[in-house]
Structure 1
């Protein structure tokens, strides 16, 4: 058992089995168990629900710590906030916590669409929710947000994809491929049949280094932001912060999420026609890239935003790159909060 993925580290969350989930790639999860954290109360009309999907490597805990709280846009005194850990993240059903024939490297391929269908079943069948006031997520959470708005346009009133795209670019696919190869080329990986993450320590450290290069920004280092976070040198930052973060994680879990991330693409719903897919969105949508993001640069996000009806472009100014999502830049989180409050204040569209 990997003690990283525990209630002590990431709770509180509830494990909810939504039953058998047939996957888009042809596999099956016989018991799709989702780790779910809720904040606030669902009102009698069941119209105050907000869905927050998680990003690559992240869990519901960071969403609670950075984005949710009284007086915030995601205010549990007003809304029923449901944070669903994506399949493969280590808390929900994942390679490392699956036994038998599907465990470890044999875990089936999962797509963003599988996550969203699982979440839809959870919300409608377990909670009885038929309308979402908002779907909001960062990075892979943004990919899921787009998938929600395209796949279930009659259910999503507002959507806020942050630092992510609806269709992953070839450039970003290659970025993620280097992250994958950092892990899989470690001899200790043994084609996914390692005994513990410690066996793949060198690969996980290379993975962390690549995230340091691409997840932050050149401006982040030029301005000495790593020192503001308490690290005297970049090497200390890599060792203490980045490797400290990724080192305990299960490599097969990371690979499961990376495969999904690389293939995030809402145009699969419309035979490759991105404009047609984004044109399906009926939610009021704020597209919020981070100015210095090298994974999902603002230009990629704006090109998609211009294809979405009833949408607005709301970039976030920050030196911290993609990983400003971690909450390292209080001003960036403040900007996100302002935009989400404005979006929630807009009247809900008539979804019929």
Structure 2
């Protein structure tokens, strides 16, 4: 395997459930310097594993492993870290406990401090649910994190995004007649319909109208939907998907013992310098949501990605979007945060 495992031991969750022998899968790029201050944390998004983050890491890029020590922790529920698909009974499949973004970040903090002795993070960056984790890092560890850069991600799941995710969940559960007693019967084949639902949200109306899928090698709309959305979702374990959907739907940086649900206070508590980069045509992580958040943060700049690629402006596919994100990260890392 091309990643490492950090053993968390038995962890007591906010739900009151104790998950035994929990694990956090991660991969590192580059080397930790002597001062241990060249650290970048780059959490994974919904449905992704560390390899999906590698498009933004490379020599000569902002996230240059010759300069920085880049840690990519895998989201719990993604099949590598503790997940329904790799956890023994009685917490396997539909019995996997509910895990929050806050808990994911707490476990990542343990990795940094216990495994590597890191006390300062130069940047936390992430796409979509990875972006939510970057906000959480800033809120939970304001004196540790110098910069954050969420792209196509918000500091909480706003009501419309909750509904979008609920539609994906309902589509999956409908394959078993919405019968909770049959959830263990779900298979990857049941994910086909979820892919078709997400096809209407992942990219913008303009993307479809201008038939940009032809630039990706697809000759028709039908081929694109089947080749990208259907195929990608059918590779996912349905129980892992349900676990990640729960995490995503209940994401809120103030849902922790520090802020007790005071969202504005949590935003104001983020001391990190932030570049917040929504996709200008993102249909469910919107510029408006991010603007609300940026206006309440002490050191935040709203920098929309001008793109018709919707949510997938942050997916590492479109060259112009990739360049904008990389340039933004380079500029953010050049900021004197002590000034």
- Between the aligned partners of 1:326 and 1:315, the Cα distance in structure 2 is 15
Equivalent residue, structure 2, for 1:3: none
Judge conservation of contact 1:13–1:36 (CA < 8 Å) in 2.
Answer: yes
1:21 to 11, 19, 32: 11
- Between the aligned partners of 1:68 and 1:96, the Cα distance in structure 2 is 28
Equivalent residue, structure 1, for 2:213: 226
Deviations 1:261-316 (A, max 9, x none): 11111233434322211111111111110111011011111111010001111111
Equivalent residue, structure 1, for 2:252: 265
- Please, what TM-score do these two structures have when normalized by structure 2? 0.96
- Please, what TM-score do these two structures have when normalized by structure 1? 0.92
Judge conservation of contact 1:292–1:320 (CA < 8 Å) in 2.
Answer: yes
Extract unaligned runs of 5+ from structure 1. 1-6
Equivalent residue, structure 1, for 2:274: 285
Deviates more, 1:43-52 or 1:259-268: 259-268
SS in 2 for 1:231: coil
Deviations 1:128-179 (A, max 9, x none): 1111000001110111111110011011000111111112111110110000
Equivalent residue, structure 1, for 2:183: 192
Displacement of 1:42 in angstroms is: 0.2
Matched, 1:211 2:198: yes
Deviates more, 1:270-279 or 1:71-80: 270-279
Deviations 1:3-53 (A, max 9, x none): xxxx4xxxx211221222211111122112111110000001000010011
Deviations 1:104-150 (A, max 9, x none): 10000101011011001011001111110000011101111111100
Deviations 1:87-113 (A, max 9, x none): 000111100111110111000010101
2:64 to 62, 70, 75: 75
Displacement of 1:67 in angstroms is: 0.5
Matched, 1:183 2:184: no
Matched, 1:55 2:45: yes
- Between the aligned partners of 1:249 and 1:230, the Cα distance in structure 2 is 23
Judge conservation of contact 1:149–1:283 (CA < 8 Å) in 2.
Answer: yes
- Between the aligned partners of 2:145 and 2:14, the Cα distance in structure 1 is 22
SS in 1 for 2:109: helix
- Between the aligned partners of 1:191 and 1:213, the Cα distance in structure 2 is 28
- Between the aligned partners of 1:74 and 1:26, the Cα distance in structure 2 is 38
Judge conservation of contact 2:291–2:302 (CA < 8 Å) in 1.
Answer: yes
- Between the aligned partners of 1:128 and 1:144, the Cα distance in structure 2 is 21
Count of residue pairs brought into register by the alignment: 335
- Between the aligned partners of 1:155 and 1:242, the Cα distance in structure 2 is 38
